[in-house]
Chains A and B, each alone.
Chain A
Amino acid sequence: MSSLRGALSAGLLLVGAVLLALALAGTYALANDVLLRQFERGLFERATALATLLEQRGEEVELHFSDEVLPRYAMHERPEYFQLWRGERELERSVSLALRPGASLPRPVPAAGETVFLELALPDGRAGRLVAHAFAVHHYAADAETGADPGPAEILVVVAVERRELDAAVRRLLVGMFALGLALLVLLVVLGRRVLDAGLRPLVRLADVLGRIERQESSLAALQDLPLPRELAPIRARIAALTQSLEDSLERERRTSAHLAHELRTPVAELRATAEVALQSPDDGPGAQQALGDARAIALDMQEKIASLLALARARAAAPLPRETRDLLALVRPLWESARANAERRGLVWSLRSTTDLPPVLVHAPAVSTVLCNLFDNAAGHGDATHPAECVLEADAREVRVLVQNGAARLTPADLARLGEPFWRAEGSDARAAHSGLGLALAAECARAAGLTLSFRLDSGLLTATLAIPRA
């Protein structure tokens, strides 16, 4: 498994090393250049010093030089060299050069006012550097004898010295740079690790809290209280929302399971009591017949519950259903009338009202029939006599709405959110035997699958279920 820390470490190290190398290379180049220029400045000063020793009288140019004054050009173990040229004619050379027969320094030709530096092998074989510059010689105004003024002569001064010191300085610089580079690299690794640790700490804390999330509310509270940088806050918010949503779903499923177990208790109790009582009197033929009849009826009730549960599961898994144009009133009227008997038996006033010019709707007819059938059954079976039960069909430019209204004095606003929950019943509901407790859950799921909007509203004990259907 790839590691974020590993990837960041490698990336940081690589980038740091490249930047460090570039910085050191740049510094080395700069320092090297500075050293070379300093060396060349010294070389040029040597040439200038020689040029100041030149004197011109008329046409004659003399070098007032002695080895005692500038012993570096004498013949010894590590001498320096110079050679002076006037035009093509060699004017003077150092003793160190003169004592080496056949030896001569290169004679570059610099442009006027320019200085030429060259690498060379000195006559004694050492690596050296050469400077060549043409100087105008200091001269006196006019020749005393002739009175003529020839103007200052131009003498090319060539000086060559060994470059050992320069090379040693450059080597020291290089070694220093390398050592510095290594030290910085080690520092980069150590500091980079600490910076990464500090930077990744919120992520590690988040992972730690997420790893310890359980179904206790305290673990979610720990996630909410975790101090996180701005970048991680959306992750925390999303995880908290998803966890809450998951928790809500699990809670719904737990309630459904509990309700289901509860729903099965009564028929199982009926079945068990019927069987145990029948077994007490095996010779009681009519009693046994009655018990068998009851057992069959109980089995049929349970079968109906299972069918409803399966229908609910299928509705939940259903893909969006295809829709067709239908006359809504033609769909609603027979379903409403089929629930009338149950409603009137319970003493409810049962009426249907529709606008005269109800437009056709776009529906999946079986799904919308299931929704309506369950809404009507719910109104007939659970509605109380505090309000008439009424179905109202109304339309606007966008949709047609079916409003199913019935008295629901027992309901509280808090109950609205649980109306579509399987097996949920309002406190004190008296319709246990007559209903599976799955009607509204099935209605809600079928509405969702059919792309319809089903909502509930409670106003002063009047429950209104609104099914919104798009116009064709």
Chain B
Amino acid sequence: MRILVIEDSPRLQRALERGLKNAGFAVDVVGDGELGLVFAGRALYDAVVLDLMLPKLDGLEVLARLRGAGSEVHILVLTARDAVEDRVRALSQGADDYLVKPFAFDELVARLRALTRRAHGRKAPRLTCGNTELDTSGRTLSVDGRALELTRRELALFEFLALRQGTPVTRIEIEDNLYGERNLPSSNAVESALSTLRAKLAEAGSTCRIKTRHGVGYVLEDGPA
């Protein structure tokens, strides 16, 4: 899942970037409204964390312009403004969620996960593929009820594929959603990660397979290899 953070406080930028990466998101961070509008308009993100008091372009203006341009990206407003009229205004202008500073980091992560699930038409926090189940809130993967040890990136890769189960995704899409702007992967990093995940799933007896469609991409399906 790839998240764009538009926040002008450098210290909060650092904390958000680090914390969201720890939670398995790919994160891009920008510090002003104009840049935020450019990044958010690229349709790469599963969700945007948007501050309201931003230099150059106010957060509400960013929100209005994005929605005006037809952007469907999920936007969570993260702001110090706690008045009801501020919340109403932001939600009325197209924000999907609103969180007031100071906030619990776990709550921010949970809200972002809920937004990304919603982006893929799902509401339950568990993604299943055959006998394999991913708990997106607990960040655990189990095969026939037995926990399978995966790294953060492997979990994120499985989640990305599971959300698009049956639909092929390209290598580029995987790169975009697993790695932020500042963490461009090496050319074979995606293949390497896919190979490791395949091996771990097979070893655990998962019926879920990551299949390669030549010339198209990769798809997660339940069934024999």
Contacts and interface: CB of A to CB of B under 8 A. Distances in A.
Contacts of A280: 19, 22, 105
B88 interface: no
Given A277-B105, A281-B22, A433 B9 contact: yes
Given A269-B101, A269-B102, A272-B103, A277 B18 contact: yes
A164 interface: no
Given A269-B102, A276-B19, A428 B58 contact: yes
Task: Tell which of A277, A281, A433 has the most Cβ of chain B within 10 Å.
Answer: A277
B43 to A, nearest CB: 27
Nearest to B59: A428
B20 to A, nearest CB: 9
Given A262-B80, A277-B15, A269 B103 contact: yes
Contact of B11 (A287, A294, A430): A294
B104 interface: yes
A222 interface: no
Given A294-B15, A430-B56, A276 B105 contact: yes
Contacts of A433: 8-10
A274 interface: yes
Contact of A265 (B8, B15, B100): B100
A274 B80 contact: no
A277 B17 CA distance: 9
Contact of B15 (A262, A273, A431): A273
A281 B18 CA distance: 10
B139 to A, nearest CB: 11
Contact of B22 (A266, A270, A277, A298): A277
Interface string B91-106: 0000000001111111
Interface string A76-88: 0000000000000
B181 interface: no
A342 interface: no
Interface bin, chain A: 20 to 34
A226 interface: no
Nearest to B53: A432
Nearest to A262: B80
Interface in B29-57: 32, 53-56
A297 interface: yes
A381 to B, nearest CB: 12
Contacts of B9: 266, 270, 433
A269 B58 contact: no
A257 B8 CA distance: 24
Contacts of B53: 429-430, 432
Contacts of B102: 265, 268-269, 271-273
Contacts of A429: 53
Contacts of A428: 58
Interface string B105-121: 11000000000000000
A262 B79 CA distance: 10
B22 A273 contact: no
Contacts, number: 75
A262 B54 CA distance: 15
A290 B82 contact: no
A270 B8 contact: no
Given A268-B101, A287-B18, A274 B58 contact: no
A274 B11 contact: yes
Interface string B1-29: 00000001111101110110010000000
Nearest to B78: A269
Contact of A430 (B12, B22, B54, B80): B54
Contact of A432 (B8, B18, B103, B105): B8
Interface string A284-300: 00010011001001100
Interface in A426-467: 428-433
A277 B100 CA distance: 18
Interface in A270-326: 270-274, 276-277, 280-281, 287, 290-291, 294, 297-298
B89 interface: no
A384 to B, nearest CB: 11
Given A266-B101, A269-B12, A273-B16, 14 more contacts: A273-B103, A276-B15, A276-B106, A277-B19, A277-B105, A287-B18, A290-B14, A428-B58, A430-B32, A430-B53, A430-B56, A432-B8, A432-B53, A433-B10
17 contacts: A262-B80, A262-B81, A266-B9, A272-B103, A272-B104, A273-B19, A276-B15, A276-B104, A276-B105, A276-B106, A277-B19, A277-B105, A280-B19, A294-B11, A297-B11, A430-B53, A433-B9
Interface of A: 262, 265-266, 268-274, 276-277, 280-281, 287, 290-291, 294, 297-298, 428-433
Nearest first, the 4 closest Cβ-Cβ pairs linking A and B are A269-B101, A430-B55, A277-B19, A265-B80
